[in-house]
Amino acid sequence: MSACYAITSKGKRCRSYATIQGLTEYTPTCKAHKNHFKGDLVSKWIHKRILTNLEFYPARRIYIESALQLGLVHVKKEHILQIPQHTSYTYFILLCARYTDFMLDWNPQLSSKVVRTLWKRVGSIGPVLITYEDIFSMFRTNIVSGFYASLLAYPHSISMNWFEFFERCSEKAWFQELLHCSHNKKIIDEVVVHLKKLPLEQIADQKKLLQIFESGQYLFWLLNKKKAFYASLESRIEPIKEELLTVSWSPERVMEWCMDESQRDFWSSRLLM
């Protein structure tokens, strides 16, 4: 485990060495700060307002990121609800999304502001580099609803090649959960309804995304991705298909895999006759 030093009253990281346990393992802090991470430290951070604009304070940022990454503090829904709905907390929320069980619906209004801010900062020059991976981190714990929520938070005054972005998403492991979601169509319809309810000036900005969803272009693209995925699986299985059937086929497995409960009962009774 790497060391995670406490932060001093002056906002600087403690430079004392971590104490040694045994021969190789280090404690998270030095001896003087051994109790630093006990108690509800997150609430103290919020109360002291040290979580704002973390991107501009490297020592503070490293201290908080290390504490979250090593699991020394635990962020809960009640903590996120305490945070003011202001973009100055963007980087802290991003760290929570990366390293904790944070979910967008813990504080939807704050989450929307944060995701919107991250969209604006993707690829921009600044104290920290924000990439699409950070957008993906925001819905890491709830892929399907989080993905569509992040699209709704996009600042549509900024030009976006949406299908280029969707292709980028399709290369990620998490995309499989979205691809095989059984209610994509229902969610897409809800997104369309949401976009149409926006004020006229916002609808004008979001017209491109609305058109993609309403026309069925996105759903058509998604279904083609799903077909391509299964075609790829079939092509990989084909060379060993006969061998797999020979090894795995049996009447019991057919009943277990291919029949519902009533069908299994019927054929079981027939076999016993």
Q: Please give the Cα distance from 169 to 67 (Å, whole number).
A: 29
Q: Please give the Cα distance from 86 to 49 (Å, whole number).
A: 12
Max mean pLDDT range (4-8, 192-196, 242-246, 267-271) = 192-196
Our CA angle for 202, 143, 209, nearest 5°, is: 25
User: What per-residue confidence (pLDDT) applies to 84?
Assistant: 93
b (16+ CB within 10 A) / e for 73-91: bebeeebbeebeeebbbbb
User: What per-residue confidence (pLDDT) applies to 174?
Assistant: 95
Give the pLDDT confidence of 189-218 residue by residue, as tens digits.
999 998 888 776 666 657 888 899 999 999
User: What per-residue confidence (pLDDT) applies to 10?
Assistant: 59
Amino acid at 54: L
- 34 or 226, which is more confident: 226
Residues 6+ apart with CB under 8 A from 93: 80, 83, 102, 110, 111, 114
Rg over CA atoms, the chain:
25
What are the E-state strand segments in 89-133?
none
Please report, for residues 8, 14, 65, 68, 101, the alpha-carbon distance to residue 28 in angstroms, rounded to integers and kept in the order given. Answer: 15, 12, 13, 12, 21
Phi-psi label, residue 57: left if phi above 0, alpha if psi -120 to 50, beta otherwise: beta
Our CA angle for 206, 208, 213, nearest 5°, is: 95
Instruction: Tell me the pLDDT band of 241, cut-offs 50, 70 and 90.
Output: confident
Cβ neighbours of 122 (radius 10 Å): 14
User: What per-residue confidence (pLDDT) applies to 121?
Assistant: 93
Provide φ and ψ at 113, rounded to 5°.
-65, -40
What's the whole-number average pLDDT of the chain?
85
Q: Copy the structure tokens of residue 140.
A: 């890491």
Q: Copy the structure tokens of residue 246.
A: 């020979």
Q: Check: CB of residue 150 under 8 Å from CB of residue 160.
A: no
Q: Please give the Cα distance from 136 to 221 (Å, whole number).
A: 20
Q: Please give the Cα distance from 3 to 211 (Å, whole number).
A: 51
First to last CA, the chain: 64
Q: Check: CB of residue 195 under 8 Å from CB of residue 213.
A: yes
pTM exceeding 0.75: yes
Exposure on the CB side of residue 243, measured as CA atoms within 13 A: 4
Give the pLDDT confidence of 88-139 residue by residue, as tens digits.
999 999 999 999 999 999 999 999 999 999 999 998 888 999 999 999 999 9
